[in-house]
A and B are shown apart, each in its own frame.
Chain A
Amino acid sequence: GENVEQHPSTLSVQEGDSAVIKCTYSDSASNYFPWYKQELGKRPQLIIDIRSNVGEKKDQRIAVTLNKTAKHFSLHITETQPEDSAVYFCAASIKRFGNQFYFGTGTSLTVIP
């Protein structure tokens, strides 16, 4: 299967600052990279995703970048707000492995008001 590493495991930022979470993957055949946000006691929610034929995607304050050569992708949150506090998971998907997701270990983001 795929091996997805995620850093940092915890991240604290001041409200209004930016937050960056990075993930690396091992299999160059990975072709789809979603990011999920999970608030305490709730289900993971898809916040943004990117496919291997795209280098960057943005949705308001959230952006994801992909470097296929280096096999890493990053989540960028700008102008952070307290409601951004949650655990964020990256994932990678490989078609030949049935398209199932391999999740990173998660990043606990705290935005300090």
Chain B
Amino acid sequence: SAVISQKPSRDICQRGTSLTIQCQVDSQVTMMFWYRQQPGQSLTLIATANQGSEATYESGFVIDKFPISRPNLTFSTLTVSNMSPEDSSIYLCSGRNNEQFFGPGTRLTVL
């Protein structure tokens, strides 16, 4: 399967600021997704990143808070906007062709 890398791997941010997470796949994938995972918890889907169009968001997630871009079949970004401590989590990028695989995650701490 393809390999996903994410940048940054971790960050500590101040309340009210924004952070953009980059996701790069080493080959083209049909679908890309963004998940959030709290420590010791399951994976919660934030949105499906659609190439060349607006992302499809799950209930409880909105574009103003989590803007997503996907300019091509190998790259996507997730921005966490106007952060608060409740946004502290691990954010995982995921790609799928026949199988779905995950990036290493970005550990975000908001102070």
Q: Is the CB of A105 within 8 A of B42?
A: yes
Binding site secondary structure of chain A = loop
Please count the residue pairs between chain A and chain B whose beta carbons lie under 8 angstroms apart in the complex.
43
Q: How far is the CA of A105 from the CA of B43 in the complex (A)?
A: 8
Q: Is the CB of B99 within 8 A of A101?
A: no
Residues in A whose Cβ lies below 8 Å from that of B103: 43
Smallest CB separation, B24 vs chain A (Å):
14
Residues in A whose Cβ lies below 8 Å from that of B99: 34, 46, 49
Q: How far is the CA of A72 from the CA of B87 in the complex (A)?
A: 33
Q: Known contacts A34-B100, A42-B104, A98-B48; can you find 11 more A-B pairs with CB under 8 A?
A: A1-B59, A43-B102, A44-B43, A45-B101, A46-B1, A89-B43, A100-B48, A100-B58, A101-B33, A103-B43, A103-B44
B positions within 8 Å CB-CB of A: 1, 31, 33, 41-45, 48, 56, 58-59, 92, 96, 99-105
- A to B CB contacts below 8 Å, 24 in the list: A1-B58, A42-B104, A43-B92, A43-B104, A43-B105, A44-B43, A44-B102, A45-B101, A46-B99, A46-B100, A46-B101, A89-B43, A98-B56, A100-B45, A100-B48, A101-B33, A101-B43, A101-B100, A103-B42, A103-B43, A104-B42, A105-B41, A105-B42, A106-B41
Q: How far is the CA of A99 from the CA of B58 in the complex (A)?
A: 13
Q: Is the CB of B31 within 8 A of A99?
A: yes
Q: How far is the CA of A76 from the CA of B9 in the complex (A)?
A: 33
Which residues 57-113 in A have Cβ within 8 Å of B in the complex? 89, 98-106
Report the contact-size class of chain A (Cβ under 8 Å from the partner).
10 to 19
Q: How far is the CA of A24 from the CA of B41 in the complex (A)?
A: 18
Residues in B whose Cβ lies below 8 Å from that of A99: 31, 96
Residues in A whose Cβ lies below 8 Å from that of B59: 1
CB closest residue in chain B, given A106: B42
CB closest residue in chain B, given A98: B48
* 4 tightest Cβ-Cβ pairs between the two chains A and B: A43-B102, A103-B43, A103-B42, A105-B42
